[in-house]
Amino acid sequence: NLEWIEGIAILVAVLVVVFVTAFNDWRKERQFRGLQSKIEKDQQASVVRDNHIQQIPVTELVVGDLCFIKYGDLIPADGIIVQSSDLKIDESSLTGETDLIRKDEGEDVGLLSGTHVMEGSGRMVVLGVGLNSQVRSIMSLLGATADGNESKDRKSNITTPSTKAPSDLSKQSVHLEDETKQRTPTISEKRSHEDQLRLVKTSKDKNDNKTNESTRDNKKKSQNKAKNAAAELTEDTEDDHIDAGDAKHISVLQLKLTTLALYIGYIGMSAAFLTLISLILRYCITTYVIKKQKPSGIDIGYFISFLIQAITVIVVAVPEGLPLAVTVALAYAVRKMMTDNNLVRHLDACETMGNASTICSDKTGTLTTNSMTVVQSYITGRSV
């Protein structure tokens, strides 16, 4: 009885796939964390602490620090210039423009993180660090950071319309009521006769009722509009979040492998069904027609063996070795890329880059019409 070999082989294949994938992910994550910590330690900033200039890691910068920048430095945080000396910044990493931007405390005082100091030196006051800086905000929009902060921001933005509208309208209604109350005594004082006073009181009550009714109607309408807008925003945001979450975890290769496995499964089930029908028909024709035997309890054992053979066809048709082969191939590709100084954190990145047919790169960030025009000419030694 060697049937246990098949079960052990399937179990070993599954364990190999899980182990190889987990080991590659763990090793790449450890290497990435090591490089990230090394980069963070190498990036130092000169700040004033305790009336002394100190070198601290960029990650320890806080809002309000006075930071010194000079030629060759990478600006670690967003801030404004308080003193500069021929300071020129390369903002091509953010804008794509290769022209150097002159910065001074008189005109352009803003400095953005991720840009490089190409000339001069200066001092800046830190205004934005971490996720509040320009680079981190761009990375968060691109999905490079965690999605928890984005979901919190979306929820806060959604609840804003429904909370502000009633308060503003309540203030307006109170203001209107105060104005009507302030106007009525001045009118009543000018009226001396009792009949005129009664007319003023009745008109005042009517006006107050109309004002209160109109204020309540406007308040209810605005509240309903705010609630409807908040509900629509909530539904749209939840749908977008669900769609993005579903599409994020399924790669192109995984989708193709899943489709292939389904097709193979359909073919295997069809073959198993045909095998079962063929075996049953052959047994029935041979036993009941040719040999002319009567049905007995022994036939049930034969039918069960035919069913086991059909199930075996289905099991054999399932490509359990396909995930293992793909995982090993991707792991080998990752190792080859590491020899070219390319650190791949996820195996899916190899497959994504392999599907890229066209790569668009940013050259200068400036759009041109590709047509030359005359700017200046020299004729007979004179500039025209």
User: How many angstroms separate the CA atoms of 19 and 118, rounded?
Assistant: 48
C-alpha 80/C-alpha 112 separation (Å) is 9
CA gap 75, 83 in Å, rounded: 15
> Which residue shows structure tokens 């000419």?
377
d(CA 122, CA 23): 47
d(CA 206, CA 16): 85
Whether the CA torsion 209, 212, 215, 216 is positive or negative: it is negative
Output b/e per residue, 280-309; b: 16+ Cβ within 10 A. Answer: eeeeeeebeeeeeeeeeeeeeeeeeebeee
Residue with tokens 């502000």: 164
- What is the Cα–Cα distance from 247 to 379, expressed in whole angstroms? 65
Q: How many CA atoms lie within 13 A of 235 on its CB side?
A: 5
SS3 state at 211:
helix
| Residues 23, 335 contacting (CB under 8 angstroms) | no
Instruction: Say how many CA atoms lie within 13 Å of 34 toward its Cβ.
Output: 8
- DSSP letter at 124 equals E
Angle between helix axes 252-284 and 298-317 (nearest 10 degrees) is 160
Residues in the chain: 384
Residue pair 158/231 in contact by the 8 Å Cβ criterion: no
Catalytic residue list contains 362: yes
- The token pair at 304 is 């069960």
Active site residues per annotation = 362
